[in-house]
Homo-oligomer: A and B are copies of this chain.
Amino acid sequence: MTNDRPKRGRPRSHTSREAILGAVRHRLLADGYLRLTIEAVAAEAGVSKATIYRWWKTKGELVLEAAEGDISIGLVPETNDPRADVEAAIHQLVDTFSRPLASIVIFAAIATGESDPVMAQIFRDRYVYPWRVSAAAAMVRALPEDRSEASEVQFLLDVIVGTVFQRTLVLREPNTVGLKGRLMSVIFPI
């Protein structure tokens, strides 16, 4: 993230950078990830294709950077109420997956994992893993000792992520009312 390039030469233009990322966002919302072309982004941003390729190696990197603010999910809080922390984790997930830009890009990062492993890798390293680690910690705190082994915690995270993914990105169900509560009851019965 930090830019350790030498300070010589013409500095990178913030104008064109913003124009590019703005055009990417616009085209993503208009056409989706698969139909987004570098050529169209360059044209809309009033920028040369070479400028895009100079700074982003692949469409995936470009799109991840353009949607960074929307995708960013943060860490699960660590309060005195562990169940509330888990609930917050679910909320973060539902909230992020519900943003138009984020839903497109997250879906693309997963869907193109096969053909663009770099994008999938960056996505995992930058957003999925950190969240999962803090969510797992919250889960351990919230569960009784006899349910808090690693494999059970990972399973419950998969239940949460899988269910939210299924609802919001696969079925494209915008109504998430009750989803959080139902997930909580399924994780913490009684």
Q: Which residues of A contact B (CB under 8 A)?
A: 32-35, 104, 107, 110-115, 151-152, 155-156, 158-159, 161-167, 170-171, 178-179, 182-183, 186-187, 189-190
> In chain B, what residue has the closest Cβ to A190?
B189
Q: Is the CB of B167 within 8 A of A115?
A: no
Q: Which residues of B contact A161 (CB under 8 A)?
A: 162, 166
Q: Is the CB of B114 within 8 A of A34?
A: yes
Q: Is the CB of A163 within 8 A of B159?
A: yes
Q: Which residues of B contact A162 (CB under 8 A)?
A: 159, 161-167, 170
Given contacts A158-B163, A158-B166, A179-B155, contact A35 B171 (CB under 8 A): no
Q: Which residues of B contact A165 (CB under 8 A)?
A: 162, 165-166, 170
Copies in the complex: 4
A162, A179, A187, A190 pick with most chain B CB within 10 angstroms: A162
CA distance A171 to B129 in the complex (A): 12
Given contacts A112-B34, A114-B33, contact A182 B155 (CB under 8 A): yes
Shortest beta-carbon distance, A180 to chain B, in Å?
A: 11
Q: Which residues of B contact A158 (CB under 8 A)?
A: 163, 166-167, 171
Q: Is the CB of A112 within 8 A of B111?
A: yes
Q: Which residues of B contact A171 (CB under 8 A)?
A: 158
Q: Is the CB of A115 within 8 A of B159?
A: no
Given contacts A152-B182, A163-B162, contact A115 B170 (CB under 8 A): no
Q: Which residues of B contact A114 (CB under 8 A)?
A: 32-35, 104, 107
CA distance A165 to B163 in the complex (A): 9
